[in-house]
Amino acid sequence: PGSSQPFQREHLQAQNTRMSSVSFLSTSLGERNEVDRYEDISTKLSELRKSGQLCDCVIAIGDVNFPAHKAILVERIPFFTEVFFGEKPTTNLLHVLKKIKPRILETLLLFAYERSIAFTDENIYDLVLAARTLGMEDVKMACIRYLCQRLNRDTVIKTIAFARNNQLTELLEACRLFFWGSFENILDTEAFRLLTAEDMQRILGSERLNVTDESVAFRSLLAWISYDAGEARRDWFPRLFPLIRLPLFSRNFLESTVAQNEICQADETCMRLVDSVKRSAGVDESALQERRFWRDDASVLFVIGQPVRRKYTNDQRPKYVMEVYDRRLKKWEVFDQLLSGAQIFVVVNENIYGFGSCKPGEETDTVNVFNILERRVGRATPMHRARCSMAAVVLKQRIFVCGGKDTSCEIFDPLTDTWTLGPNMTSEVMDHCLVAISDRHVVTLGGYSYFSPRKWVEVMTLNTSQAAEAADWFPARTSVDGWQLMPHMLMPRSGHSACFFRGRIIVVGGNSEVSCAEMFVSGVDSEEDWVPRGQWTLLPLFTATSVTAYAGRLFSIDTNEVKCCLFSESKMKGMDEEECKLPEREDLPKLKSLAFPALAFLC
């Protein structure tokens, strides 16, 4: 079944979360009774339209008539402003309305009156085109964001074709960004096989192409050409081959694979490029700097934690301070202050969700939401039960919350502002942490139980097929019943931090007796095929209190210092236990006003 997204007024700017209307509107409209009056007026006008009362115009599409009020149409739909003020001829009006289906016009009229839309996979394509036609830019962009949020290896082929056919530039760029970031994951899909030559030129020429090794780019070019039985794609090889970064290949790969390829041998210019690289002394420092680096320009590194006492008086001191890293200036700046307390923070798109209380031992079901773009705080639907010292993680745009003095688990969907109960863990735990793996597994690690920190680790495998709704995620197979135990950590931990990075689970920090990190290596090396079987290894040179991973980088916090660990895939593979050390770290500037950073994250 197609998913549905209730779309309220605040979604025009903060589309990914249905926050409480009262908590947002009260900042400008005052008390709740004023908000209620505003909503009552919108509802009353909509009822008048549906009953045809006091209407002064009728919009006709075929045999279907839509009574309406000119004042509302002029205020909310730019197209009708031009119609009613004589800027568009009647013939143009009829031509435009023929393009819009009656049910879609009814949906847009409902939004014009009540500022509410239900997005579904069935109506989204018609809605975005109709909204563009009628000049409803806010709805059009919200539709595009809806489609972008659902981009995956299965949907991108339909989405990019729709964007091309209808000249939706923003959506087309989002699809290309998806290809850059998920390149290796889509190589075996129909979407990759149908890429145009211009698409391949953009992809292979990009600094941001997300590949673990440059050989992936070369093999992808050969695969793309082989999918076309004719000569058209082969003719593109001389133009696309120079986009491959040959200096990053090993001499053996150049000689045994690239130079021996029949397509390459058939082109004199390509062979000259190969010979030129073979004659060089190898990969020098300048070539290393030309490695591709996937980065999302919209992403920002934030750190949130308790502020330095000396910078605030007691009555002014906020619960938490958020700092953001300025990449251009290479320094941290205070971004905002959070007066409301929370214990656990997670990020979904541009919204930060806070769970629990900052007061030790206090249980609460409150969910605070901070919109980064607008710097506004709202409230989401409360959890099913009050918790303290719980853990939370984001998987497939949903938030998992587990534990907190019991074994329960529940899942929050920001799009619908609803909670769904999940299967219970096998053990009561608090002060633990959760890690999401490959959009399919949730792992809980350690925690405090029965008066001491624990080593235990549990995993839940989800049925996250495209058609599965959150309520159908458990269990993934009939042989799996909720949470299953997996190998224990080497050290007992509580109040620690963990993340999934290049196929490994990295765990840092915890109680004062823990001084170093540890890493879990799965029995299957592929991230996509990760299994909860393997072994743990200590990382004695890595000490930190919090970690987060992004774009081939591991960001860690230790006191008020943030470090960026530059892992290479070759160093992560085939390590002996004695050699299991982290690479050199790049230090970022010290934080500006945080005494006790809680966590780092990217939005």
Q: Which residues pair with 556 in a beta bridge?
A: 547, 563
**Is 585 within the bounds of a domain?**
yes
Dump pLDDT digits (tens) for 207-261: 888 887 888 999 999 999 998 766 689 999 999 999 998 888 888 888 899 999 9
For residue 357, is pLDDT > 50? yes
**Is 161 within the bounds of a domain?**
no
Task: Examine the domain organization and report whether 210 and 351 are in the same domain.
Answer: no
- CATH number of the domain bearing residue 267: 1.25.40.420
Q: What single string gives the DSSP state of each residue in 151-188?
A: --TTTHHHHHHHHHHTT-HHHHHHHHHHHHHTGGGGTT
**Distance, CA of 22 to CA of 48 (rounded, Å):** 25
Which helix (DSSP H) or strand (DSSP E) does residue 82 occupy?
helix 78-84
Dump pLDDT digits (tens) for 402-428: 998 889 999 999 888 899 998 889 888
Task: Examine the domain organization and report whether 182 and 67 are in the same domain.
Answer: no
Tell me which of 89, 115, 150 is where a domain ends.
150
**Distance, CA of 332 to CA of 555 (rounded, Å):** 14
**Is 155 within the bounds of a domain?**
no
- The total of structural domains in the chain comes to 3
Number of helices (H) and strands (E), helices first, in the chain? 19, 30
Type of residue found at 532: P
For residue 38, is pLDDT > 60? no
In terms of pLDDT, which residue wins out, 13 or 64? 64
Dump pLDDT digits (tens) for 40-52: 666 777 788 888 8
Q: What is the 3-state secondary structure (H, E, C) of 103-151?
A: HHHHHHHHHHHHCCEEEECCCHHHHHHHHHHCCCHHHHHHHHHHHHHCC
Tell me which of 222, 253, 288 is where a domain ends.
288
Task: Examine the domain organization and report whether 53 and 145 are in the same domain.
Answer: yes
* Lowest-confidence segment of 54-68, 88-102, 301-315, 456-470 by average pLDDT: 301-315
For residue 328, is pLDDT > 60? no
Residue 439: the pLDDT is 77
**Is 10 within the bounds of a domain?**
yes
Q: Rounded to whole angstroms, what are the CA distances from 456 to 58, 80, 198, 395, 485?
A: 67, 63, 51, 22, 8
Is the separation of the CB atoms in 368 and 340 below 8 Å? yes
* Mean pLDDT for all residues in the chain: 76
- Cα dihedral 241/242/244/245 (nearest 10): 150
Residue 80: the pLDDT is 86
In our burial notation (b when 16+ CB lie closer than 10 A, e otherwise), range 377-406 reads bbbbbebeebbbbbbbbbbbebbbbbbbbb
Q: At 64, is the pLDDT very low, low, confident or very high (cuts 50, 70, 90)?
A: confident
**Is 275 within the bounds of a domain?**
yes
**Distance, CA of 175 to CA of 153 (rounded, Å):** 11
Q: Please give the residue range of the domain that contains residue 195.
A: 173-288
- CATH number of the domain bearing residue 56: 3.30.710.10
For residue 589, is pLDDT > 70? no
**Distance, CA of 423 to CA of 177 (rounded, Å):** 36
Residue 401: the pLDDT is 94
Residue 442: the pLDDT is 92
Task: Examine the domain organization and report whether 199 and 134 are in the same domain.
Answer: no
Is the separation of the CB atoms in 408 and 398 below 8 Å? no
Dump pLDDT digits (tens) for 120-174: 889 999 999 999 999 999 899 889 988 988 888 889 989 999 999 999 998 998 8
Task: Examine the domain organization and report whether 345 and 463 are in the same domain.
Answer: yes
Mean pLDDT on 366-392: 86
Dump pLDDT digits (tens) for 287-309: 434 677 666 555 566 777 766 55
**Distance, CA of 75 to CA of 63 (rounded, Å):** 26
**Distance, CA of 198 to CA of 146 (rounded, Å):** 26
How close are the terminal C-alpha atoms of the chain, in Å? 30
Mean pLDDT on 473-481: 42
**Distance, CA of 47 to CA of 54 (rounded, Å):** 11
Type of residue found at 182: S
**Distance, CA of 458 to CA of 442 (rounded, Å):** 8
Dump pLDDT digits (tens) for 81-125: 888 887 666 556 777 788 899 999 999 998 888 878 888 889 999
Residue 557: the pLDDT is 77
Task: Examine the domain organization and report whether 143 and 204 are in the same domain.
Answer: no
Task: Examine the domain organization and report whether 283 and 314 are in the same domain.
Answer: no
Q: Report helix, strand and coil shares of the chain as percent, to nearest 5.
A: 35, 25, 40
Task: Examine the domain organization and report whether 452 and 597 are in the same domain.
Answer: yes
Dump pLDDT digits (tens) for 177-200: 888 888 888 888 888 998 889 989
Tell me which of 241, 259, 288 is where a domain ends.
288
For residue 476, is pLDDT > 60? no
Mean pLDDT on 9-18: 31
In terms of pLDDT, which residue wins out, 31 or 511? 511
Task: Examine the domain organization and report whether 399 and 538 are in the same domain.
Answer: yes
Task: Examine the domain organization and report whether 125 and 15 are in the same domain.
Answer: yes
Residue 243: the pLDDT is 92
**Distance, CA of 43 to CA of 104 (rounded, Å):** 20
Portion of the chain with pLDDT greater than 70, in percent = 71
Both tokens of 120, joined, read: 């579904």
Residue 443: the pLDDT is 94
Task: Examine the domain organization and report whether 388 and 480 are in the same domain.
Answer: yes
**Please, which residues have CB within 8 angstroms of residue 372's CB and are 6 or more apart in sequence?**
300, 302, 350, 351, 352, 603
**Distance, CA of 515 to CA of 253 (rounded, Å):** 42
- CATH number of the domain bearing residue 537: 2.120.10.80
Task: Examine the domain organization and report whether 102 and 215 are in the same domain.
Answer: no
Both tokens of 417, joined, read: 């502002």
**Is 96 within the bounds of a domain?**
yes
Q: Tell me which residue has tokens 């509802």.
A: 43
**Is 167 within the bounds of a domain?**
no
Residue 51: the pLDDT is 81
